Structure 1
Amino acid sequence: MLGLVPYLLASGVVFDPSDTRIHLACWNGIEEPINVYYRGEFQAWQEGQNRRNFECKHVMSLIDLGRGIWLFAGIYHVLGCQPHPTWEGGHYLYSTELLPGQSDLVGRLIIEHQRTRQSYVWCKPEMALQIVEIKREKMTIADFPGYHSIVINHDTLKTIIRMKIDSWYSALANIRGVYLIVDTTNGKTYVGKASGDVGIWQRWSTYADNGHGGNKELIEVLVENGEEYMKNFQYSLLEIADTYASEKYILAREAHWMKALMSRKFGLN
């Protein structure tokens, strides 16, 4: 396998590994950095820090993909640091710029590295940062997979809605139907319906916005556990219908799935 540092240097990326800190970007308790990256906001997201974590010349950014696998998100030159103008409690705002010569590498290199507890580590020669894959294209949220293949978490849903990804919008805005929300921490289910003019897309947009969509049971879950708990929700479709399906028909199908999954007795309906 190729080592990340020698590969970058051989590719013409000019940086000083001895004055480089590696940012192992993981979930910060609010959102997954991979979804921030998909939205094109990773650099700005990374520049806000709760400590002076980037007291170095360069920052190498790796985004957690799970199970010791990381996405290379670039090497940045640290230009300066100041107290964060809007965050309270000793937070800092860094100014950085992406080094030249890596635009065709960011988002394509998949790295293997076993993280310890630390998210900020110095780049050392003995570190095992191995390239396990070089993707042909930059990583993005995949195109719409088909109605019967949707299984997405809340962070992904939020990104899809916010970016209004064409393939997802075209598919979900033109159907009505019955959907399923699962609390992945305990397996409890919520069965819901979408019968508005913009179908599933319109209904799921409300979940992307606040996590509960106005549903009493989901509101109670978030009140009890905090807004960040919506990260644990998973979304899929149970049954679809075209936009001419009546409200009465959609209600009947929703009732059927509630009964079949016993979501009133054991779930969140």
Structure 2
Amino acid sequence: MQQILPSIFEGDDFPGYDKVKLSYQQLHTIITRGKRDWISAIENQKAVYVITDKSNGKLYIGSATSNSGMLLQRWSSYVQNGHGGNHALKQLVVENGIDYVKQHFQYAILENYNAKIDDTIILQREAFWKEVLQSRSFGYNRN
């Protein structure tokens, strides 16, 4: 007699940097289960990313540099506390709870770079996207 063991869904395979669009729950699964293809794809990547609050359309533009521990470390901090240390997101979590983030936030990569690119380029691109997407005026960016 054979038994079929249930397989645990561990999320979709890494689709490529230009196709990353994750809910909080998907990101949580990737980080907590250590999904190898995702981890190897983002652990040494610098990036400019966007967090979208799907309940109101507000955006947060962030960056992952060598100073912030690359993309894996940045996104792990969002899974851990919902705000990653950002002031406006921290205030949102205090006011609405982590469940708000779990229900409404989506994470995507705007631009990705290898580890050798200078951090100042990443920070310049982050500032560019904040300007283009008006995330200081209408979103969660305060700097």
Shared fold per TM-score greater than 0.5 = yes
Contact between 1:176 and 1:194, CA under 8 Å: does it hold in 2? yes
What's 1:132 paired with? none
Shift of 1:102: 5.6
Shift of 1:247: 1.9
Question: 1:44-83 alignment to 2 at 5 Å?
Answer: none
What's 2:71 paired with? 200
Shift of 1:186: 0.7
What's 1:228 paired with? 99
More strand by share: 1
Amino acid at match of 1:189: L
| Equivalenced residues, count | 139
Cα distance in 2 between the residues matched to 1:193 and 1:140: 26
Question: CA distance change for structure 1 residues 230 and 247 in 2, over 3 Å: closer, same or farther?
Answer: same
1:254 to 113, 126, 138: 126
- Segments of 5+ residues of structure 1 without an aligned counterpart are 1-11, 13-100, 108-137
Cα distance in 2 between the residues matched to 1:140 and 1:242: 26
Amino acid at match of 1:250: I
Contact between 1:196 and 1:202, CA under 8 Å: does it hold in 2? no
Shift of 1:171: 0.6
2:94 is paired with a residue whose SS is helix
Q: Per chain length, whose mean CA-contact separation is higher, i.e. which structure has more relative contact order (CA < 8 Å, sep 6+)?
A: 2
Shift of 1:267: 0.6
CA RMSD of aligned residues (A): 1.7
Question: 1:88-237 alignment to 2 at 5 Å?
Answer: 103-104=4-5, 106=6, 139-196=9-66, 198-231=69-102, 232-237=104-109
Amino acid at match of 1:248: T
Instruction: Return the index of the structure with the highest Cα Rg.
Output: 1
1:241 aligns with 2:113: yes
Cα distance in 2 between the residues matched to 1:246 and 1:207: 24
- Segments of 5+ residues of structure 2 without an aligned counterpart are none
What's 1:86 paired with? none
1:266 aligns with 2:131: no
1:170 is paired with a residue whose SS is helix
Contact between 2:64 and 2:71, CA under 8 Å: does it hold in 1? yes
Cα distance in 1 between the residues matched to 2:10 and 2:107: 19
Amino acid at match of 1:217: A
The TM-score, its normalising length taken from structure 1, stands at 0.49
1:264 is paired with a residue whose SS is helix
